[in-house]
Structure 1
Amino acid sequence: MVSPVLMNVVLAIVGTAVVWKGSGLLESASEQLSAYYGLPAAVQGAIVVAIGSSFPELSSAVISTWLHGDFGLGVAAIVGSATFNLLVIPALSGILADGVEADRTVVYKEAQFYMVAVSVLVITFALAVIYNPVSLDGPASIGGEMTRSLAMIPLCFYGVYIFTQYHDTMDHEAETPPEDINPIRQWAYLAVSLVLIAVAVEMLVLSALGFRDMTGVPSFIWGLTIVAAGTSLPDTLVSVRAAKNDEGVTSLANVLGSNVFDLLVAVPAGIIVAGTAVINFSVAIPMMGFLTVATVVVFAMLRTELHLSARESYILLGLYGLFVTWLVLETLDVTHFVPGA
């Protein structure tokens, strides 16, 4: 008889492998479609590739909330993935490509709109606590019920983001698309890749829930680690490869665009599907607070000379190491910055 530990480990490994395979197919189809429709580099990275590579995070939010009734796991997976995307992916890109070049579009539009996205989600959670308070276990826990009407707030802001990207495409002079691209075939490949990723994410979620039941460690910790790491693979592959090809703008735009999509679309998507979900404000806000600090650090580094150096990349890796260390200390009850856990 297979032990529960082995089963959960196998689910995590197989799920990650299928995400890897599906993401490779997704990346190829996204690039082909972007070339066919003549999209500018910033829009290609921030919209087409970012939405495609963020589908695992979207799936984790919907599956966790709708199928398993654990909205906190989905939010943790997205916040963990956003932190990984923001710190590790640019760091790996900067180290492997010996620095990543940015431009004013990435710094003044993508990075700043991402800061807005973080603020919008925090405000939405706060509104849930203020207008729909919920009693949770534990004297320090503060909860609120997220409704479909509240979920529309971040979705509307993502509409603004799409609107700004649309105007960039209007000013862009597209090159002649390659003649050997079959758009129907590429859309079919894209659809297949999304199905593969959805199945893989269900494996990752089941693995996280299994480890929660076995160890008693809150599901948000497993969401921040197992699910977040597995779902961040597509963004890692896309951004690192773009950086090594001297496409720094596409690399950074994909990271920031993916995180904007995760926060403004993936999180509310689970609520839209399920109808309502309870958010543990005491758990969510410390995590969002760290994400805010990481965002400010990355923005400051990109703003200096519009370049992320290899030295700055190692600093970002160190900051992510502090994040993981903090999670371990919280799990061991050494620190108590997350009282609602």
Structure 2
Amino acid sequence: MVLGGFLPDTPVVSVLLILVATAVIWLGSGWLEESAEHLSAYYGLPAVVQGSIVVAIGSSFPELASVVFTALAGTFDMGVGAIVGSAIFNILVIPAVAGIFAEGEMETNRTIVYKEAQFYMVAVATLVLTFALGVIYAPVSGAHALVGQLTRPLAALPLLLYALYVFIQWQDVSDHAAERVEIPVGREWLRLLAGLALILVAVEQLVGGVESLSHTFGIPAFLAGVTIIAAATSLPDLLVSVRSARAGKSVTSLGNVLGSNTFDLLVAIPLGVLIVGTVTVDFAVAVPMFGVLTLATVLLFAIMRTDLSLTSVESYALLVAYVAFVAWVVAETVGVTHVIKGA
């Protein structure tokens, strides 16, 4: 319902609501990310951990909120679509735009390539495995054979893997020695909480606006999440990564991309299941999207490993790949292609 029923539920109002909510998400995420960055410097965290854990979780909060609200609204497919679409956006668009605006080539390192990127690939495989277990052991009666349910015990699997990820990062922190930067800690924590509150309110309205449009125009919930919600909730990730790249912090910029996606897949989706208890997933819809996500991840991994840098030509290649993905999603929506069988 648009703003609790105070505004008419029309396509024009829904579009305006989506635009305003996106702007508020951008503002709240800016507060959240800047506070997270300052607190990381205060507590002396290394650049990789700062990008892949602290800043990544902060910039991923819109995606987390979208999953929670769609799960509560009974449109979990839209939330999963937002996470997968956001992950593809993060993998292809954010490094590309950061590489274009960076001064010279974006340098990577072996930590990013061999730890962050490979762990992210494991995260993708783990979530696909979790979905498959839901189809095998909790099938939905009356539905086709590829529809199953995710339960709380199954949701614990990706959460346990993320706990391992945090443990590995914690070991890096314990081995890292850095000078602490003095800041007004109380003020930064208050600004971080204010950013979280703004994001919560804005994402709730964003989900409502997209849900209204999808009903009006007959857009499948999963595809609406993959496109509109995914792009809107990924804007904060784009902002922080470009800003880090322009400041010469390419490791933090790329670490934010991979860490944000790892958090989205291993925490955001399982958290929606934990809140609701049981959600239905369509393997026929999810797996083709995870296949695209895997291809995008392999492409980024290969580009980052080549000379351990990201050039402007490689950045434009990533953008071309994302344009091809959007074109395919549009083709699926209008019925030109039929790769997604359950959509």
Q: Which amino acid aligns with 2:152?
A: R
1:178 aligns with 2:181: yes
Residue 44 of structure 2 contacts residue 181 of structure 2 at CA under 8 Å; is this kept in 1?
A: no
Residue 204 of structure 1 contacts residue 226 of structure 1 at CA under 8 Å; is this kept in 2?
A: no
Residue 74 of structure 1 contacts residue 223 of structure 1 at CA under 8 Å; is this kept in 2?
A: yes
After superposition, the Cα gap between the structure-2 partners of 1:212 and 1:311, relative to the gap in structure 1 and judged at 3 Å, is same
1:149 aligns with 2:153: yes
After superposition, the Cα gap between the structure-2 partners of 1:206 and 1:171, relative to the gap in structure 1 and judged at 3 Å, is same
The CA deviation at 1:298 is 0.4
The CA deviation string for residues 241-280 of structure 1, in whole angstroms up to 9 with x for no partner, is: 0011111000000000000000000000100011110011
Q: Show the counterpart of 1:299.
A: 301
After superposition, the Cα gap between the structure-2 partners of 1:136 and 1:75, relative to the gap in structure 1 and judged at 3 Å, is farther
Name which of 55, 72, 77 aligns with 2:77.
Answer: 72
1:83 aligns with 2:77: no
Using the size of structure 2 for normalisation, the TM-score is: 0.96
Q: Show the counterpart of 1:274.
A: 276
Task: Return 5+ residue gaps in structure 2 as ranges.
Answer: 1-6
Alignment map for 1:50-199 (pairs within 5 Å): 50-66=56-72, 68-97=73-102, 98-135=104-141, 142-175=146-179, 177-179=180-182, 181-199=183-201
Alignment map for 1:208-219 (pairs within 5 Å): 208-219=210-221
Name which of 7, 13, 31 aligns with 2:13.
Answer: 7
1:232 aligns with 2:234: yes
In structure 2, distance between residues paired with 1:308 and 1:126: 35
SS in 2 for 1:279: strand
After superposition, the Cα gap between the structure-2 partners of 1:95 and 1:214, relative to the gap in structure 1 and judged at 3 Å, is same
Residue 201 of structure 1 contacts residue 227 of structure 1 at CA under 8 Å; is this kept in 2?
A: no
Name which of 30, 42, 46 aligns with 2:52.
Answer: 46
Residue 84 of structure 2 contacts residue 290 of structure 2 at CA under 8 Å; is this kept in 1?
A: yes
In structure 2, distance between residues paired with 1:148 and 1:94: 40
SS in 2 for 1:278: strand
1:222 aligns with 2:228: no
The CA deviation string for residues 182-229 of structure 1, in whole angstroms up to 9 with x for no partner, is: 112211111110111111111111111111110111011111111111
SS in 2 for 1:133: coil
Q: Show the counterpart of 1:284.
A: 286
Q: Name the Cα RMSD after superposition.
A: 1.2
In structure 2, distance between residues paired with 1:150 and 1:265: 12
The CA deviation at 1:70 is 1.1
The CA deviation at 1:178 is 2.6
Name which of 321, 329, 338 aligns with 1:336.
Answer: 338
After superposition, the Cα gap between the structure-2 partners of 1:336 and 1:104, relative to the gap in structure 1 and judged at 3 Å, is same
Q: Which amino acid aligns with 2:133?
A: L
The CA deviation at 1:134 is 1.2
1:311 aligns with 2:313: yes
SS in 2 for 1:204: helix
Q: Which amino acid aligns with 1:314?
A: Y
In structure 1, distance between residues paired with 2:60 and 2:138: 29
The CA deviation at 1:3 is 6.4
**Equivalent pairs: percent with the same residue?**
56
In structure 2, distance between residues paired with 1:136 and 1:81: 31
The CA deviation at 1:99 is 2.6
Residue 93 of structure 1 contacts residue 239 of structure 1 at CA under 8 Å; is this kept in 2?
A: yes
In structure 2, distance between residues paired with 1:3 and 1:237: 31
In structure 1, distance between residues paired with 2:74 and 2:327: 28
The CA deviation at 1:87 is 0.3
SS in 2 for 1:232: helix
Q: Show the counterpart of 1:27.
A: 33
In structure 2, distance between residues paired with 1:94 and 1:81: 19
SS in 1 for 2:340: coil
In structure 2, distance between residues paired with 1:226 and 1:207: 10
Residue-pair matches, total: 336
In structure 1, distance between residues paired with 2:8 and 2:37: 41
In structure 2, distance between residues paired with 1:13 and 1:309: 32
Q: Which amino acid aligns with 2:181?
A: P
In structure 2, distance between residues paired with 1:278 and 1:9: 28
Using the size of structure 1 for normalisation, the TM-score is: 0.96
The CA deviation at 1:135 is 4.3
In structure 2, distance between residues paired with 1:43 and 1:3: 44
Task: Return 5+ residue gaps in structure 1 as ranges.
Answer: none
SS in 2 for 1:134: coil
